């Protein structure tokens, strides 16, 4: 009993969950007519609002004289004033059908009598007289439907409950018709219909204008194989029908087995239970399917299927499927698919899949996939993938992948990958990868990679185990090799090269080495030096080392450089561990003889350190030049002296 009460409460709640919609009865009108026949007032409403009324004159006293005065009220409100409670209103397409309110007890009695009214007729083209096959004949009250045959004939059998019946006849590409018929006494009613082709359809056929075709969700996903032909025809012809039912039970939509029969593609359900699979116009509550759920339009709140959910419109709420979720409209909420989630438009919420997530437009929220995430628009939020995450636009937030991540547009935030990160636009944030980072189209603020970084403009930090490249470096490059086209920042590494930067070659002599070769590369304000020296004779010594320095202009052709270097000295070409360490601070003044050559000279401050060179405790001889400090300890020997250098710089 408790379960029964709980189920009743759930159904009651579901009936309150609905999206707001505006129908023809909700159109606003202002009218002030005194003592006028009803049919004239209805005509005025038609003229002012564009709706059409359909009724049986034997039921509606349309010659009755009434008055109507309303200011900015709905059509439904005005009709209620005219007819009181004697007439009920049904809207279908652009029609408002006026039907007589009948006694409920009498209707139940007639329905229990197992009597039926059979409607038969032929539907043809009004212009050509040819039969129209595949037209839908729909009873607006009972929601029974039939399809015209190849010769245009149809037959629709309806339980004999209401005495007044309304048939809505429509074929895509033709203007619809509404018949309001008296079925009180007749068991068989013959009613033919001649449909007028729509002008725009005729013109397109005449000019053969190419038209882009959007397939319905059921055709696009599974080629209509799981939906009966009759159901598909009604869904196409009667797409303007918007009916809502509290609940639906469906077994196999391909056989039209279920509580809504072949009209299930016209109905919004507050609750839908699909034993094997179900097809409906939409859901405004909850839908559960053993294998699959197919919805032509929108879904709201909750949808779960053992295999797949297919939605032709928007989704608001939660969607769960064992294999895949496919949504052609926008999604807001939570989407869970065992293998894949496919969304054609914007996505807001959370998305997770074991293999892949695909979003056709912008994404806001969290996206998780075991293999790949693909977003065709901009991404805001967090994107995590075991193998690959890709964004066709830019991302704002975080992007992480076990192997690689990619964003084509400008991005803000953090991008992390085990192997590779790529942003074609600018990146304001950070890139961290085990192997490589690439930010190709704009400013980048942080790149950290095990092997290399590539950036269009580095305005922050580039850190790589081996190689950094920036077209324009305005920040810090830290790596074994740093290369840039232009550099207004700092590059620290073994090799630093700036294409438009400072490149000098020096030949010089100092108090120790008569021949020195120095290569300088970087920018004027911060460059690296590569130093080589040699001394000939009985105590032949060679030197090699690295350094850094800066250069600035004093006046006209007069410039100054300040260099700091460290060199290793050896007497046996580094064949043993007999070597010394020489540290040099060298300010120089240079004068430009020509545009391509300058002469320079200046003092040097030198510090030499030697550890025990061999077991006898010998040192490299004649390194120092008149040292003012010379001390020997158990750790080695330290010498300091003032020297000088002179040379040419090319």
pLDDT at site 644: 93
The mean pLDDT of 585-602, rounded to a whole number, is: 94
- Report yes or no: 600 and 571 within 8 Å, Cβ to Cβ: no
Q: Which residues, 6 or more positions from 416, have their beta carbon under 8 angstroms from its beta carbon?
A: 398, 399, 400, 401, 405, 431, 432, 433
**Which CA distances in Å does 631 have to 423, 511, 634, 640, 641?**
57, 20, 10, 9, 12
Q: What angle do CA 217, 220, 222 make, to 5 degrees?
A: 95
pLDDT at site 148: 92
Q: What are phi and psi of 21, to 5 degrees?
A: -140, 155
pLDDT over 50 (residue 15): no
Q: What is the pLDDT of residues 504-525, one digit of tens each?
A: 999 999 988 899 999 999 888 8
CA-CA-CA-CA dihedral for 40, 44, 46, 49, to nearest 10: -160
pLDDT at site 506: 96
Q: What angle do CA 61, 63, 69 make, to 5 degrees?
A: 95
Q: What is the largest CA-CA distance in the chain?
A: 135
pLDDT at site 185: 74
Q: Which two tokens stand for residue 157?
A: 């059998």
Euclidean distance between CA atoms 333 and 451, whole angstroms: 40
Higher model confidence: residue 19 or residue 647? 647
Q: What is the pLDDT of residues 358-390, one digit of tens each?
A: 998 898 888 888 888 888 988 888 888 888 888
End-to-end CA distance of the chain: 99
pLDDT-derived band of residue 547, with 50, 70 and 90 as boundaries?
very high
Q: Which two tokens stand for residue 449?
A: 């990679």
In the chain, the percentage of residues whose pLDDT exceeds 70 is 87
Best CA proximity match to 288, nearest among 270, 300, 309, 274:
274
Q: What is the pLDDT of residues 431-453, one digit of tens each?
A: 888 888 888 776 778 888 888 88
pLDDT at site 226: 62
Collapsing DSSP to helix, strand or coil, 643 comes out as strand
Euclidean distance between CA atoms 476 and 472, whole angstroms: 11
- Mean residue pLDDT of the chain comes to 82
Q: Cα Rg for the chain, rounded, in angstroms?
A: 43
pLDDT at site 208: 45
pLDDT-derived band of residue 619, with 50, 70 and 90 as boundaries?
low
**Burial class, 331, CB count within 10 angstroms (exposed 0-12 / middle 13-18 / buried 19+):** buried
Q: Which two tokens stand for residue 543?
A: 């030197």
In this structure, of 355-364, 394-403, 560-569, the range with the lowest mean pLDDT score is 394-403
Best-predicted range by mean pLDDT (73-77, 244-248, 476-480, 503-507): 503-507
The mean pLDDT of 601-610, rounded to a whole number, is: 92
Which is it for strands 395-401 and 379-385: parallel, antiparallel or unpaired? Answer: parallel
Best CA proximity match to 149, nearest among 177, 124, 116:
124
What residue has token string 């969304």? 343
Q: Which residues, 6 or more positions from 249, have their beta carbon under 8 angstroms from its beta carbon?
A: 258, 259, 272, 273, 274, 275
pLDDT at site 215: 42
Euclidean distance between CA atoms 142 and 212, whole angstroms: 36
pLDDT at site 295: 86
Q: Model pTM greater than 0.75?
A: no
Euclidean distance between CA atoms 134 and 460, whole angstroms: 67
Q: What is the pLDDT of residues 110-146, one digit of tens each?
A: 777 777 888 899 999 999 999 999 999 888 877 788 8
pLDDT at site 475: 87
Euclidean distance between CA atoms 37 and 62, whole angstroms: 6
pLDDT over 70 (residue 14): no
Q: What is the pLDDT of residues 269-294, one digit of tens each?
A: 888 888 888 788 888 899 888 888 88
């Amino acid at each position: 009993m408790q379960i029964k009460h709980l189920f009743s409460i759930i159904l009651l709640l579901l009936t309150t969950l609905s999206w707001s919609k505006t129908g023809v009865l909700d159109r606003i009108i202002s009218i002030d007519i005194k003592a006028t026949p009803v049919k004239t007032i209805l005509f005025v409403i038609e003229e002012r609002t564009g709706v059409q009324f359909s009724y049986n004159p034997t039921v509606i006293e349309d010659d009755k004289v009434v008055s109507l005065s309303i200011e900015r009220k709905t059509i439904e409100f005005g009709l209620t004033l005219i007819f009181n409670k004697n007439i009920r209103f049904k809207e279908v397409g652009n029609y408002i059908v006026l039907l007589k309110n009948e006694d409920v007890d009498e209707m139940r009695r007639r329905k229990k009598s197992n009597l039926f009214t059979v409607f038969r007729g032929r539907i043809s083209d009004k212009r050509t007289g040819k039969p129209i096959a595949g037209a839908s004949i729909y009873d607006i009250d009972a929601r029974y439907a039939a399809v015209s045959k190849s010769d245009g004939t149809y037959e629709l059998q309806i339980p004999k409950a209401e005495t007044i019946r309304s048939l809505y006849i429509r074929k895509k590409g033709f203007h619809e018709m509404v018949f309001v018929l008296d079925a009180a006494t007749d068991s068989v009613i013959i009613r033919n219909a001649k449909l007028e082709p729509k002008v725009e359809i005729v013109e397109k056929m005449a000019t053969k204008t190419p038209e882009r075709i959007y397939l319905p969700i059921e055709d696009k996903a599974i080629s209509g194989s799981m939906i009966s032909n009759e159901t598909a025809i009604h869904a196409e012809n009667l797409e303007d029908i918007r009916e809502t039912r509290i609940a639906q039970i469906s077994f196999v939509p391909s056989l039209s087995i279920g509580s809504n029969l072949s009209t299930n593609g016209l109905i919004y359900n507050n609750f839908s239970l699909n034993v094997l699979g179900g097809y409906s116009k939409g859901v405004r509550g909850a839908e559960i399917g053993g294998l699959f759920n197919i919805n032509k339009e929108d879904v709201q709140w909750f949808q779960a299927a053992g295999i797949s959910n297919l939605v032709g419109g928007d989704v608001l709420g939660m969607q769960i499927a064992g294999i895949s979720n496919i949504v052609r409209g926008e999604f807001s909420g939570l989407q869970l698919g065992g293998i894949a989630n496919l969304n054609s438009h914007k996505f807001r919420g959370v998305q997770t899949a074991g293999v892949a997530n695909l979003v056709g437009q912008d994404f806001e929220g969290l996206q998780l996939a075991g293999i790949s995430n693909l977003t065709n628009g901009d991404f805001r939020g967090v994107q995590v993938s075991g193998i690959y995450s890709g964004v066709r636009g830019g991302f704002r937030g975080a992007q992480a992948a076990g192997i690689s991540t990619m964003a084509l547009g400008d991005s803000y935030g953090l991008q992390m990958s085990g192997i590779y990160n790529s942003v074609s636009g600018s990146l304001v944030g950070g890139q961290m990868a085990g192997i490589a980072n690439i930010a190709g189209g704009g400013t980048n603020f942080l790149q950290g990679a095990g092997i290399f970084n590539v950036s269009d403009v580095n305005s922050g930090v580039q850190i790589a185990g081996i190689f950094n490249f920036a077209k324009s470096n305005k920040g810090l490059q830290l790596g074994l090799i740093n290369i840039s086209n232009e550099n207004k920042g700092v590059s620290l590494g073994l090799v630093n090269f700036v294409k438009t930067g400072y490149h000098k070659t020096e030949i010089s002599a100092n108090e120790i080495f008569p021949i020195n070769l120095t290569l300088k590369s970087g920018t004027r304000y911060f460059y690296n030096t590569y130093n080589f020296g040699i001394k000939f004779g009985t105590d032949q010594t060679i030197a090699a080392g690295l350094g850094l320095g800066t250069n600035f202009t004093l006046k006209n052709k007069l410039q100054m450089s300040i260099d700091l270097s460290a060199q290793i000295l050896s007497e046996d070409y580094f064949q043993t561990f007999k070597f010394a360490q020489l540290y040099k601070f060298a300010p120089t003044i240079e004068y430009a003889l020509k545009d391509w050559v300058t002469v320079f000279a200046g003092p040097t401050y030198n510090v030499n350190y030697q550890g025990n060179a061999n077991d006898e405790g010998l040192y490299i001889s004649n390194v120092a030049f008149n040292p003012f400090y010379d001390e020997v300890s158990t750790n080695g020997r330290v010498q300091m002296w003032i020297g000088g250098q002179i040379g040419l710089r090319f």
